[in-house]
Amino acid sequence: MSSHSKALKITKRALLVGGLAVGGGLVVGYAYLRDKPGTAGFEAVGISGTALNAWVKITPDGRIILAVPRAEMGQGVYTAIAMLIAEELEVNLGQIEVEHPDVDGKYANAFILTEPMPHFRPLIWLVERVAAALPLIVTGGSTTIRDGWEAMRRVGASARIMLVQAAAMRWDVAPEDCGAAQGSVTHAKSGRSLSYGELAEAATRIKPPSDPQLKPPSAFRLVGTPAPRVDIPAKVTGRAQFGIDVVLPGMLYAAIRQCLFRGGHILSYDADVVLGLPGVEAVVPVHGGVAVVAKTYWQAKKALEALPIEFDDGGNRELSSKSISELYRQALDEGDAVSVRADGNAERALEKSATVLEAVYELPFLAHACMEPMNCTALVKGDAVEIWLGTQAPTMANWGAAEGAGVETDKVTMHVTFMGGGFGRRQEMDISRQAAQIARALEGRPVKLIWSREEDIQHDSYRPAVMAKFKAGLDETGAVTAWTNRLVLQSVEADYGKRNLPEILGSDGDADIAMTQGADDMPYALPHYTVDKVIMKLPMDVGYWRSVGHSHNAFFTECFIDELAAASGQDPFAYRRALLSQAPRQLHVLDLLAEKAGWDARAKPAAGRGRGMALHACFGSFVGQVVDISLSVQGELSVDRVVCVIDCGMTVNPDTIEAQIESGIVYGLSAALYGEITLQAGQVVQSNFPDYEVVKLAAMPVVETHIIPNTNYPGGVGETGTPPIAPALANAIFNATGKRIRKLPLQNADFLSL
């Protein structure tokens, strides 16, 4: 039985959730289901339903500990979840401690699976239960707040009601005569008061309410206000533990070398050459490569450099960026396409159009380039393995460790740390599997595996290379009469599933919605609208990269919309506005964006200056950006200012939203300016930051973020700032030079001779 098959066993523990006493404290868990098809709400079903989310623990000494099962990688999720629970629990953030819980079905993220299927309730019901039974613990898709908006508040409300009832029973008064505030329950008529810590044990004997009433937004005192991050004090003082910080008694260190060729493997190595070197303890074969273990990482790394290794090229020695681009070009015209959307009759409409425009866009593979190197510490003892790492997907890390150590998944103990960047990269099981394999060979001794930056860049699960071909018809007024879009790329879902979830996500990519997200659901009113895709099979590992398909489709669609506006002789803002008659929220974003950016259709850009805009909807939010640039006479580009407007529904922490928009912009800007993974002779060319650059502080533009207040259900924030920046920048270059950018990164373009 494979480790994946082991992971599919559904246990009673994965299907139960409830309140119980732990060391005299109160622990509250809450199960919930989606409320109605087509909505994002949740319906509490009491303690006997499918367990899907968080716990609250109140200790006898009054400590309030929240188990937050989503990865804190700088996006502020610990604070946001804490705010939602604290709002209904009636405590202050300063009274709260946060910890990452074990892998358990009650913490599953069903939203990430059910979001694509809001109208098929039976399938949602099934997927929610599968997510809990696996259990699927994952941070991604900008789902944390969308998944927990009501559920986390119900957690807090349920605990508060139980505590109030416990106090009322002790005082022999009506619960409605008692109030809760700042971690205490009071009885105003008698002036009596008890702390939550004093009530915790008694509260465990009270049945949790089946449907606790939640505050209306008008009564929020914490949610929606700027709040300090709960993780910052530990990070400032150095108490915060990242995976790279883990140190255990007697710990060894491992450095790894993986096959340089895409799809190849290591044929042989001569361990005897390095086993006598200082500090070297072992040479261990692992999945995809070979590792050298030593008493220090430097000793392991230097020994690895001296280790003779022979590689098999997997038959891919001729693979290159040029050959891949040629394959993509051929697929645009001759590939077997899967239809994704087909409204009306686009081909006939194109024949009748006054003007037909065509364009082909191309984007390269991209690495994640997390600041903290990939790492995992593992300790194997008998039939059990213990691991320490920062991960976005504890489920995947658990399965990887189980496979590497050759044990059952319930024999894996996990310690989830902070992480220095995730961006989708830390959803993979590769690092935990390799670390456990190494630790198994050195049983009883903890081993920390660290990937060098070169291994990280050259063995990433990349954002796919993508090519897109557009045709659009315009009438005599410049209005769109037809729109066709063909995309050529690998399927992330199929490739990720092959590596991590073959029994669950084993697919050929036909149903992979991420490939065309942002291309097949544009808000613009298009009468004849066709989108299809050609799925490429390449020996390149591809994975989830910040904003996934939106990251490339926003660039394609918003640049081509700009091309249509220019061909029609119309202002880009006015042209978009005319196409948004059926999308009021996007229209509001666009109008406010123009206002805040000072957009003036009549103004001509000064010499060497330009501005461009882009609008995009993703993860339940709507974002618009305007970019101001300047070009020197030598053609050097400066990105001077970015104005961003976001409608993300109801907000939890405005400070976090602003920080995440800025983060998304710099991440997307780095990719647009410099980002590319190229291949030559079957190998990745780039290896470190000198040839895989990111935007440095001196080049960072001024960023202005404007949040539209409203009472709509929350949308995602962590990834939404990334998609619009590249098209807005490319459109600004057109505004300044009259030349179109259809291929990134910009470092390869000569702005004066395009």
Q: Do 269 and 167 fall within a single domain?
A: no
Per-residue pLDDT at 436: 98
Give dist(CA 111, CA 128) in Å, integer.
Answer: 8
From the list 616, 613, 610, 725, the residue with the least C-alpha distance to 663 is 725
pLDDT beyond 50 at 696 = yes
Does a structural domain hold residue 668? yes
CA distance 269 to 265: 12
- Check whether 41 has a pLDDT greater than 50: no
Per-residue confidence (pLDDT) for residue 115, from 0 to 100: 72
Supply the range of the domain harboring residue 139: 3-233
Give yes or no: residues 540 and 625 share one domain: yes
For residue 131, what pLDDT is reported?
72
* Number of domains composing the chain: 3
Note the pLDDT of residue 71.
92
Residue 644 has φ and ψ, to the nearest 5°, of -125, 135
Asked if residue 412 belongs to a domain, the reply is: yes
Q: Report the pLDDT value the prediction gives residue 14, as an integer from 0 to 100.
A: 32
Residues 213 and 295 in one domain: no
pTM of the model as a whole: 0.91
- Say yes or no: 130 and 109 in one domain: yes
Q: How confident is the model at residue 752 (pLDDT cuts 50, 70, 90)?
A: low
| Boundary residue ending a domain (182, 204, 233) | 233
Alpha carbon 185 to its chain's center: 39
What average pLDDT score do residues 161-186 get?
Answer: 96
Q: Answer with the one of 421, 450, 479 that is the final residue of a domain.
A: 450
In tens, the pLDDT along 431-481 reads: 999 999 999 999 999 999 999 999 999 999 999 999 999 999 999 999 999
Collect all residues with Cβ–Cβ distance below 8 Å to 294 and sequence separation of at least 6.
252, 253, 254, 255, 277, 278, 279, 280, 281, 300, 303
Residues 285 and 362 in one domain: no
CA dihedral sign of residues 679, 685, 689, 692: negative
Residue 33 within any structural domain of the chain: yes
Tokens of 8: 């599919």
Residues sharing a CB contact under 8 Å with residue 97, sequence separation 6 or more, in sequence order: 63, 64, 65, 66
Compute the half-sphere exposure of residue 15: CA atoms within 13 Å on the CB side of its CA: 6
Q: Establish if 457 belongs to a structural domain.
A: no
Determine the pLDDT at residue 90.
96
Q: Is residue 753 part of a domain?
A: no
pLDDT of residue 63: 82
**Which of 450, 485, 510 is a domain's end point?**
450
Q: Do 521 and 614 lie in a common domain? A: yes
pLDDT exceeds 70 at position 153: yes
Which tokens belong to 446?
Answer: 């903890």
- The per-residue pLDDT for range 501-519, each reduced to its tens digit, is 776 655 788 999 999 999 9
Q: Does the pLDDT of residue 20 top 90, yes or no?
A: no
Which residues, 6+ apart, have CB-to-CB distance to 587 below 8 Å? Answer: 577, 580, 581
Q: Which is higher by pLDDT, 98 or 131? A: 98
Name the more confident of 456 and 13. Answer: 456
Res 135: pLDDT: 79
| pLDDT of 698 higher than 70 | yes
> Looking at the domain assignment, is residue 456 inside a domain?
no
Express each pLDDT in 187-238 by its tens digit. Answer: 999 999 999 999 988 888 888 888 899 999 999 999 999 999 999 999 999 9
Please tell me whether residues 162 and 125 are part of one structural domain: yes
pLDDT of residue 638: 96
CATH number of the domain to which 78 belongs: 3.30.365.10
Same domain for 687 and 631? yes
Q: What pLDDT, on the 0 to 100 scale, is given for residue 28?
A: 52
User: What pLDDT score does 647 carry?
Assistant: 98
**Within this chain, do residues 588 and 700 fall inside the same structural domain, yes or no?**
yes
Q: How far apart are CA 654 and CA 707, in angstroms?
A: 8
Percent of the chain with pLDDT strictly greater than 70: 90
**Residue-level pLDDT at 21:** 33
Task: Confirm whether 238 is domain-assigned.
Answer: no
In angstroms, rounded to a whole number, what is the distance separating the alpha carbons of residues 230 and 512? 37
pLDDT tens digit sequence for 265-313: 999 999 999 999 999 999 999 999 999 999 999 999 999 999 999 999 9
Residue 455 lies in a domain: no
548 with 604, same domain: the answer is yes
- For residues 397 and 498, state if they share a domain: no
Tell me what the pLDDT averaged over the chain comes to.
89
Query: Do both 394 and 346 map to the same domain?
Result: no
